[in-house]
Amino acid sequence: MSVAEGYAKRFREEREGHSLSQLLDERTKLLTEMQELMDAEELHSFQYAEVSWEYDMVHMIIKERTASVNTVTFHTAGLYKGK
């Protein structure tokens, strides 16, 4: 496992118990922080890169959770025709 994979795995594990609402709040805070860094013209800073990476990870986790919720809903409603 590479260092980046290790960071991503640990980041995900730290958020396993977070609700969708908590993740959405975290994403909003990260987006606000990114905007503040952009306003301060810190686009090339390590801090911006870190916040941007965290935003992307949280966004990915949200998408995965909402996709799994939609799949369960389709199965429950009998709308899923897949195998």
The pLDDT value recorded for residue 37 is: 93
Mean pLDDT by 10 residues, the chain (83 residues): 91 95 97 95 90 96 84 53 49
Q: Which amino acid is it at 67?
A: A
CB-side neighbour CA atoms (13 Å) of 45: 13
Q: Any idea which residue has 């118990």 for tokens?
A: 17
Looking at residue 60, what is its pLDDT? 96
C-alpha pair distances (Å), 12 with each of 19, 72, 75, 79? 13, 22, 26, 30
Distances (CA, A) of 75 to 61, 62, 65: 21, 20, 15
